[in-house]
Amino acid sequence: MREIAVRQVDISDTRNLRQAVLRPHETVADLADSDNLDSFALGAFDGEELLGVGLIAPDDAPGVWRVRGMATAPHARGEGVGTAVLDGLLVHAVAGGAVRVWCNARTPARTLYERAGMRVCSAEFELPDIGPHYVMEIAFDASAR
């Protein structure tokens, strides 16, 4: 079993894994051009090996945050890497005032988000060159803070 440690990383440190797993049809430079530089980035590590990453940032409406760029190295899937990253991102968003967090979840990753309490709130849809997705979300009680 791996010893997974999650810690904040620079967004640039997430790009190689995100490009390889999520957008192999793009270059790392293309991915960098579309990054929200206000994103909070987490990496999951086994020692110094980066196994998974994710980003979260406030979205357009007050209290709404969006998860993006969740990627786990293929050889580390099913070992809790994605769960550890997503949990850390949600904690960060709630601490930052989130009342709703949403994402475009790849269909194969749906259960990862459901385990975190997120629910599907759209029909399945296709993102060109990327594949099938659902919009998923979770709400947090602002009065519980």
Nearest-angstrom CA–CA distance, 27 and 41: 20
For the chain, domain boundaries: 4-144
Nearest-angstrom CA–CA distance, 46 and 4: 5
User: Please, is 26 exposed, middle or buried when counting C-beta atoms within 10 Å of its C-beta (0-12, 13-18, 19+)?
Assistant: middle
Phi-psi region of 135 (alpha: psi -120 to 50; beta: other; left: phi over 0): beta
User: Please, is 43 exposed, middle or buried when counting C-beta atoms within 10 Å of its C-beta (0-12, 13-18, 19+)?
Assistant: buried
| Whole-prediction pTM | 0.93
CB 100 within 8 A of CB 65: yes
Tens of pLDDT, residues 41-72:
999 999 999 999 999 999 989 999 999 999 99
- For domain 4-144, give the CATH number: 3.40.630.30
pLDDT at 125 over 60: yes
